[in-house]
């Protein structure tokens, strides 16, 4: 085989892959629905929370926003308490662990999540992989899609945005990844519409089945 052919056939992974945690990797929807008492109430509560989170900018305690969102949709504070009590029962989406294990030998792996440091660390630990960085909104001082959480993760990893990719769970992330210059895979498991004004991701899929192949064709200079 010629050197050129070998180069063309060899996967060219990015230096790092950053993940949304609570939607792209973990099924938090089921926990929200269970705490709310129904799928309909859970989705309304989650939508209200997302509006508060992505609209507030500077960090306000995650637990406070969850309670405020519950009140907005007519749920009692007990729903927020139930969600936190169920936190350690969050489960990975199908294919999440397989994808992480496949990528671990090739890329640095990081989490960028919109929650408190305490809950973010607990949730990340539910996935049995070695994280090179875990960045929460509390640590960054702002919520995504402000560029700061993504940039903080890249800084911890020592990787430029052009040599990294992001796996989103919400299309709100696309505002931030577009600003930072991160190529994005949207794991849109439940089929949400693209938020108005958000830049479409490079890949949108209902599962993580295409992720490793997409990243293997990332291109550019490979890590050494």
CATH number of 100's domain:
3.40.50.1000
Is 45 found in the same domain as 18?
no
Q: Do residue 95 and residue 152 come from a single domain?
A: yes
- Indicate whether 9 belongs to any domain: yes
Tens-digit pLDDT profile for residues 17-59:
999 999 999 999 999 999 999 999 999 999 999 889 877 878 9
Give this prediction's pTM.
0.91
Is 109 in the same domain as 185?
Answer: yes
Residue-number span of the structural domain to which 41 is assigned: 29-88
Q: What are phi and psi of 112, to 5 degrees?
A: -130, 105
Which distant-in-sequence residues (6+ apart) come within 8 Å of 131 by Cβ? 109, 110, 111, 124
- Average pLDDT, whole number, for the chain? 92
């Amino acid at each position: 085989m010629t050197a050129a052919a070998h180069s063309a056939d060899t996967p060219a992974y990015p230096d790092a892959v950053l993940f949304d945690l609570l939607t792209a990797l973990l099924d938090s929807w089921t926990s929200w629905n269970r705490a709310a008492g129904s799928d309909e109430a859970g989705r309304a509560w989650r939508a209200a929370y997302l509006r508060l989170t992505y609209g507030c900018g500077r960090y306000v305690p995650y637990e406070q926003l969850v309670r405020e969102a519950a009140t907005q949709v007519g749920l009692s504070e007990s729903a927020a308490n139930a969600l936190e009590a169920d936190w350690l029962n969050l489960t990975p989406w199908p294919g999440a662990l397989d994808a992480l294990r496949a990528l671990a030998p090739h890329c640095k792996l990081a989490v960028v999540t919109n929650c408190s440091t305490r809950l973010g660390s607990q949730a990340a630990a539910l996935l049995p992989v070695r994280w090179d960085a875990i960045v929460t909104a509390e640590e960054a001082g702002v919520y995504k899609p402000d560029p700061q959480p993504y940039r903080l993760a890249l800084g911890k990893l020592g990787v430029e945005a052009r040599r990294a990719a992001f796996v989103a769970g919400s299309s709100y992330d696309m505002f931030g990844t577009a600003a930072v210059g991160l190529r994005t895979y949207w794991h849109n498991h439940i089929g949400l519409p693209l938020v108005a004004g958000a830049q479409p991701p490079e890949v949108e899929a209902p599962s993580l089945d295409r992720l490793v192949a997409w990243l293997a064709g990332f291109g550019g200079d490979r890590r050494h």
